[in-house]
Homo-oligomer: A and B are copies of this chain.
Amino acid sequence: MPSYDYIRDPQEIYRQSFATVRAEADFSDMDAELATVAERLIHACGMPDILEDLAWTADAAKAGREALRAGAPILADCRMVVEGVIRAGLPRDNAVFCSLNDERTRPLAAELETTRSAAAVELWQDHLEGAVVAVGNAPTALFHLLEILGKGAPKPAVILGFPVGFVGAAESKEALIEADLAVPYITLRRRRGGSAIAAAGVNALAGLAKSADMS
């Protein structure tokens, strides 16, 4: 019967994982905080080459870190992002909010003639101001967020824009980059993205917030 030789110590797995990420990716065009976030995004998906597609504003890591330190909520487009956020890592026991399964979402989607994911964003409005937004699934959620921000909705502190897939994902992320909203963002051009990457972005910002608390 086979016995396998593999690393069982969580700390050592973590250490070797990030050592590999640092060895294989070049973070020289980022400041230290953004590099910390980018490392976690790579760690979440196993693909150092996402760096080629990563786009960000210079203030995004700081804005997200300070928002979490101020107790800001995290607004997620899907339950998988909610589950990916490590609660023990949050600096202020921040709320993690997803309105996709809110009973108002489905009728609202019918009324607005859009997806449930986009309709769910409508229900973010009272929580948006200063929030950390994490989109890990639906291009229509990101598009709809850009639409309501363009109409004057309260501004989040930072947008982690990682919708994934073949229809609208690339386009919604380009729209985020091109929108002149004065909202910091981190995003991944083209088709790749997903809930694990979006949650990793939140977890990275939470780590920066906790480090800032201790310094």
Within 8 A of B (CB), among A158-178: 164-169, 171-172, 175
For A169, the chain B residues whose CB sits under 8 A away are: 46
Q: Which residues of B are found within 8 Å of A211, using beta-carbon distances?
A: none
Instruction: Give every chain B residue within 8 A of A147 (Cβ-Cβ).
Output: 2-4
Distance between Cα atoms of A83 and B194 in the complex (Å): 14
Complex Cα distance, B4 from A179, in Å, reads: 11
Annotate A171-215 by CB proximity to B: 1 below 8 A, 0 otherwise. Answer: 110010001000000000001111110010000000000000000
Closest chain B CB from A63 CB (angstroms): 22
Point out the residues of chain B lying under 8 angstroms from A140, CB to CB.
6, 8, 13
- Taking a contact as CB atoms under 8 Å apart, the answer to whether A168 and B6 are in contact is yes
User: Would B43 and A146 count as touching, CB distance under 8 A?
Assistant: no
What chain B residues lie within 8 Å of A114 (beta carbons)?
8
Q: Does A61 contact B (CB under 8 A)?
A: no
Say whether A65 faces chain B, with CB atoms less than 8 Å apart.
Answer: no
Q: Does A125 contact B (CB under 8 A)?
A: no
B-side contacts of A151, CB under 8 Å:
1
| Interface assignment of A118: CB less than 8 Å from any CB of chain B | yes
Interface of chain A residues 21 through 57 with chain B (CB within 8 A): 21, 43-47
In the complex, A192 Cα to B116 Cα: how many Å?
A: 29
Please report the C-alpha to C-alpha distance between residue A58 and residue B147 in the assembled complex, in whole angstroms.
47
A150 on interface, CB distance cutoff 8 Å: yes
Compute how far the CA of A16 lies from the CA of B168 in the bound complex, rounded to whole angstroms: 10
List the B side residues contacting A167 at CB < 8 Å: 7, 13, 16-17, 20
Q: CB-CB < 8 A to A166: which residues of B?
A: 16-17, 20-21, 43, 46
Are A113 and B6 within 8 A (Cβ)? Answer: no
Residues in chain B near residue A2, CB distance under 8 A: 146-147, 150, 175, 179
Checking B3, B10, B84, B168 against A13 with a beta-carbon cut-off of 8 angstroms, the contacting residue is B168
**Distance to closest chain B CB from A13 (angstroms):** 5
Contact A115:B47 (CB < 8 A) given known A83-B80, A166-B21, A194-B194: no
The 4 A-B residue pairs whose C-beta atoms are closest, nearest first, are: A46-B191, A8-B114, A79-B83, A20-B166
